[in-house]
Amino acid sequence: MVGTRKSLALVIALAISGVAAACGPSNPPDTAADKQQDTAPAGTGTQDTTTPPAGSKDPQPTPPATGAPSGTAEAPAPKPGKGSTPIKESKMLEDVKKAGVNLAKTTTLDKIPLGQKKKLMPLFQKALGYKDCQGCHVEGDFKKETRNIKITRGMWDHYVAAMRDEKGGAVFCDTCHEGTPKNLDRSDRKAMEKFMEDEYEHKLTRADKKDNECSTCHGDAMELKIIEKLWGIAKN
């Protein structure tokens, strides 16, 4: 059936817009309940990060991971195994500059003039590996709020604007995503913590020059659900 794929996409789009509408304005209640963290054995970094477990690895030049299909994937499946996407130098910084955006001075996404913002859109799409704009937007209404729009604002404000790479240079969406929305392989908690330490802690720095620690992104209470709890963006 020729129409199947298209109608599936439509169904998904409708589902997303439905959800977005349903849980739009209401904020999730305060997190009182969910505080308990499973006491992970190894210092989860909750207290401080002054104790990097012995011998932090020598910087391995990570092999160019599976040549990510440029923007063709419809729903990029998470890579098998310990497939979290390592930090890479952004390849889009020139394009960002061409869009008129200076990442060294940027604050929040909503403050960027519309004309520049529009030029960032194809870059977002590509960095995330979405097939089209509907990766984040509902068809026919670019103003309509969606979960991915809200997440993108968070990613921009907290990471692109506030973080830098090892050398203090700019980061962009592809620094962490490299063509996939699901850049974390959460199947192994220990591996996840190691990955976070090696990549998100040690290979990123902060624009404000303070030490980058787990708490930079997870907060002092080491909240693991950043998107849902710290940023207050409801789950689908």
Q: Applying CB under 6 A, which residues contact ligand HEC? A: 44-45, 109-110, 114, 117-118, 121-122, 124-125, 128, 130, 133, 135-137, 142-143, 148-149, 151-153, 155-156, 159-160, 163, 171, 173, 175-177, 181-184, 186, 189, 192-193, 196-197, 200-201, 204, 212, 214, 216-218, 224-228
Give 99-103's long-range contacts (Cβ < 8 A, gap of 24+). Answer: 99/123, 103/160, 103/161, 103/170, 103/171, 103/172
Distances (CA, A) of 125 to 68, 71, 148: 13, 7, 11
Least distance to ligand HEC, CB of residue 99, Å: 12
What whole-number distance in Å separates Cα of residue 15 and Cα of residue 136?
13
Nearer to ligand HEC, 130 or 179 (CB): 130
Q: Which is nearer to ligand HEC, 2 or 114 (CB)?
A: 114
CB of 46 to ligand HEC, least distance (A): 8
Question: In the complex with ligand HEC, which residue's Cβ is closer, 2 or 33?
Answer: 33
Residue 98 CB coordination number (10 Å): 11
CA distances from 26 to 16, 57, 149, 234 (A): 16, 44, 16, 9
Q: How far is the CB of 5 from ligand HEC (least distance, A)?
A: 19
In the bound state with ligand HEC, the residue whose beta carbon lies nearer, of 65 and 226, is 226
Residue 7 or 47 having the CB closest to ligand HEC: 47
Partners of residue 141 on adjacent β-strands: 138
* Minimum separation from the CB atom of position 96 to ligand HEC (A): 10
Q: Least Å distance between CB 236 and ligand HEC?
A: 9
Query: Would you list the DSSP string of 164-176?
Result: EETTS-B--HHHH
